[in-house]
Amino acid sequence: MKALILQQYMHLEIADVPAPSISAPDDVLIRIKASAICGSDVHGIDGSTGRRIPPIIMGHEAAGVVASVGPGVKNVAVGDRVTFDSTIWCGECFFCRRGEVNLCDDRRVLGVSCNEYRRDGTFAEYVVVPERIIYKLPESVSFEEAALTEPVSVAMHAFRITNMRPGENAAVVGSGLIGLLLIQILRSYSPHRIIAFDTEPRRRAAALTAGADVALDPADPASQKKVLEMTEGRGVDRAFEVVGASAPIVTAISATRKGGSVTLVGNISPKAEFPLQAVVTREITLRGSCAIAGEYPASLDLMASHAINVASVISAVAPLEEGPLWFERLYTREPGLLKVVLVP
Ligand SMILES: [Zn+2]
Ligand SMILES: [Zn+2]
């Protein structure tokens, strides 16, 4: 089969490799129809993350058609249009048995090779995954859109564990891909106000299009006053931080009312400083949100009903052969580029 392979750091190429085959009874062979490039793939190609050790077929956000199934597969059949979790969880450990599959002790992300494991991913014509991580696609969701079910579900997980109540206000700090999806999800559940923050004007404009009531520049001293004006002088009930660095974490905490909560989704830096006394004395809850634990069906529902519009964050759909070019454009941070979907 044709595959896009990271042969060595900073060097991707298209090659012919043997297609994967079914080995376990619950294995499903999927013909990939669309596979989106994730920020973690882009960061991974230079070796800085240690999670894309070459050679590796990357890719973990995809959709396709079932091509064949193992003898133990019950719920999907050849010809089904499907997507799947980015992570293969074991289903047996303490966390999996509690339904916290994102915290599985033996989780393996597709398209990742690190010191602990190696698992080829979806920038190829075929991939094999176990039945338990597969979800059927609603008819109205295209393969290209379905390739984004994974990032939608990352945003959905953060939303779900935040337990927002009707009428609450929310702030979203960072209007990149996950931030924009989160704003769309929040909008579909009608919170009282959605306040977006981003340092880049272009991203603030995208946040307004996604459904934010206002998009503020965190570097502008007047922003804090605006938040208070919009929240009866209190600050927002719930903040989401989707960057993962000290400055945006401070922005999120400063925007939050006493007794409110900040859900931390971004994690680009391993450590961050935050105003300890503000968190303690204002009794703010900080909560981490990692990956996905069962949010795929809810995400697919919102996508099928067009309550959220994932096409709005797809910058380009291109053939797999153009993969090296698109990785280059993403790696050099071409302005305005959000999601790129490759079609093998
Ligand atoms: Zn990803
Ligand atoms: Zn597990």
Distance 217 CA to ligand 1 centre (A): 27
Distance 103 CA to ligand 2 centre (A): 7
Distance 311 CA to ligand 1 centre (A): 17
- For residue 236, how far is the Cα from the chain centroid? 24
* Residue of 40, 60, 59 whose CA lies nearest to 51: 40
**What residues contact residue 28 under an 8 Å CB cut-off, 6+ apart?**
22, 66, 68, 69, 70, 73, 76, 82, 128, 129, 130, 131, 134
Ligand nearest to the CA of 38: 1
Distance 221 CA to ligand 1 centre (A): 34
Distance 318 CA to ligand 2 centre (A): 35
Per-domain boundaries in the chain: 2-140+306-343, 153-288
What per-residue confidence (pLDDT) applies to 154? 97
Distance 59 CA to ligand 1 centre (A): 8
Cβ atoms of 110 and 63 within 8 Å: the answer is no
Distance 276 CA to ligand 1 centre (A): 31
Ligand nearest to the CA of 44: 1
Distance 179 CA to ligand 1 centre (A): 14
Distance 115 CA to ligand 1 centre (A): 19
Integer Cα distance of 292 and 343 in angstroms = 24
What per-residue confidence (pLDDT) applies to 190? 75
* Residue of 174, 131, 98, 116 whose CA lies nearest to 27: 131
Classify 153-288 by CATH class. alpha beta
CA atoms within 13 A on the CB side of 295: 26
Ligand nearest to the CA of 86: 1
* Residue of 115, 109, 121, 116 whose CA lies nearest to 56: 121
Ligand nearest to the CA of 104: 2
Classify 2-140+306-343 by CATH class. alpha beta
What per-residue confidence (pLDDT) applies to 270? 85
Q: What is the pLDDT along the chain (344 residues), one digit of tens a residue?
A: 999 999 999 999 999 999 999 999 999 999 999 999 999 999 999 999 999 999 999 999 999 999 999 999 999 999 999 999 999 999 999 999 999 999 999 999 999 999 999 999 999 999 999 999 999 999 999 999 999 999 999 999 999 999 999 899 999 999 999 999 999 999 998 778 999 999 999 999 999 999 999 999 999 999 999 999 999 999 999 999 999 999 999 999 999 999 999 999 998 888 999 999 999 999 999 999 999 999 999 999 999 999 999 999 999 999 999 999 999 999 999 988 999 999 99
Ligand nearest to the CA of 58: 1
pTM score, whole prediction: 0.96
* Residue of 199, 232, 202 whose CA lies nearest to 216: 199
Exposed/middle/buried for 265, CB within 10 Å: 0-12, 13-18, 19+? buried
What per-residue confidence (pLDDT) applies to 191? 77
Distance 272 CA to ligand 1 centre (A): 22
User: 248-264 burial string, b = 16+ CB within 10 Å, else e?
Assistant: bbbbbbbbbbeebbbbb
* Ion ligand 1 contact residues with beta carbon within 5 A: 38
Ligand nearest to the CA of 178: 1
Distance 253 CA to ligand 1 centre (A): 26
Integer Cα distance of 186 and 167 in angstroms = 11
Distance 95 CA to ligand 2 centre (A): 6
What per-residue confidence (pLDDT) applies to 336? 86
CA atoms within 13 A on the CB side of 221: 0
What per-residue confidence (pLDDT) applies to 269? 83
What per-residue confidence (pLDDT) applies to 64? 98
Distance 156 CA to ligand 1 centre (A): 14
Ligand nearest to the CA of 149: 1
